[in-house]
């Protein structure tokens, strides 16, 4: 989902979910990339080093500030943004260490939905015209039914 709406990649905290990594690899192989997945055993350290060395950090939470606060903040413009998405029990440190805590509405909702809308807004809907590299499958939009075009170009290792 993150890939479809413009993210470059995703870090997963906690256990190394090999089937997830395989399934993302297969998806990128079929539908194109680039898109990466990495596991991190210390997400809070990642967050801190991202802030220091790479860019800005946004934590999505229903308790946060409106998304326009990010969109209107010049320090986020063209920045590399790390988006932190968790469940209900995100530890306090993530609220504290993130550059901004942002709510996609202050109502209960799915984290997947919040991330999708965040990416859509921050990228100004650029997913609508994004093309992926080295795809073996490509959909031709249809009024009814499913039309998929196959490519037999040389496969690239993922």
Span of 38-46, 50-58, 78-86, 127-135 interacting with a copy of itself by CB under 8 A: 127-135
150 counts as binding a copy of itself under rule CB under 8 A: no
Helices assigned H by DSSP within the chain: 18-31, 43-49, 68-71, 92-97, 111-122
Q: Phi and psi of 138, rounded to 5°?
A: -150, 130
**Structure tokens given for 105:** 């509405």
123 counts as binding a copy of itself under rule CB under 8 A: no
Q: Phi and psi of 99, rounded to 5°?
A: -65, -40
31 counts as binding a copy of itself under rule CB under 8 A: yes
95 counts as binding a copy of itself under rule CB under 8 A: yes
In angstroms, the CA 58 to CA 83 distance is: 5
Q: Judge contact between 79 and 54, C-beta under 8 A.
A: no
The angle subtended at Cα 147 by Cα 145 and Cα 152, nearest 5°, is 160
Comparing CB distances to a copy of itself, the nearer of 89 and 154 is 89
Q: How far is the CB of 41 from a copy of itself (least distance, A)?
A: 25
Return the residues of window 101-120 that contact a copy of itself according to CB under 8 A. Answer: 101, 103, 105-110, 112-117, 120
127 counts as binding a copy of itself under rule CB under 8 A: yes
- What is the binding site for a copy of itself (CB under 8 A)? 1, 3-5, 27, 31, 61-67, 92, 95-96, 100-101, 103, 105-110, 112-117, 120, 127-128, 130, 132, 138-139, 141-148
């Amino acid at each position: 989902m993150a890939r479809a709406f413009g993210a470059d990649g995703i870090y997963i905290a906690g256990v190394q979910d090999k089937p997830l990594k395989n399934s993302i690899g297969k998806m990128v192989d079929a539908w194109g990339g680039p898109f990466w997945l990495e596991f991190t055993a210390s997400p809070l350290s990642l967050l801190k080093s991202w802030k220091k060395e790479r860019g800005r950090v946004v934590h999505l939470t229903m308790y946060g500030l409106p998304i326009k606060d990010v969109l209107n903040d010049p320090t986020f413009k063209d920045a590399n943004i790390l988006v932190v998405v968790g469940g209900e029990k995100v530890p306090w440190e993530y609220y504290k260490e993130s550059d901004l805590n942002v709510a996609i509405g202050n109502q209960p909702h799915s984290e997947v939905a919040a991330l999708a809308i965040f990416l859509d807004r921050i990228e100004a809907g650029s997913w609508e015209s994004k093309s992926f590299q080295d795809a073996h499958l490509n959909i031709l939009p249809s009024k009814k039914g499913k039309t998929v075009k196959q490519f037999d170009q040389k496969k690239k290792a993922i």
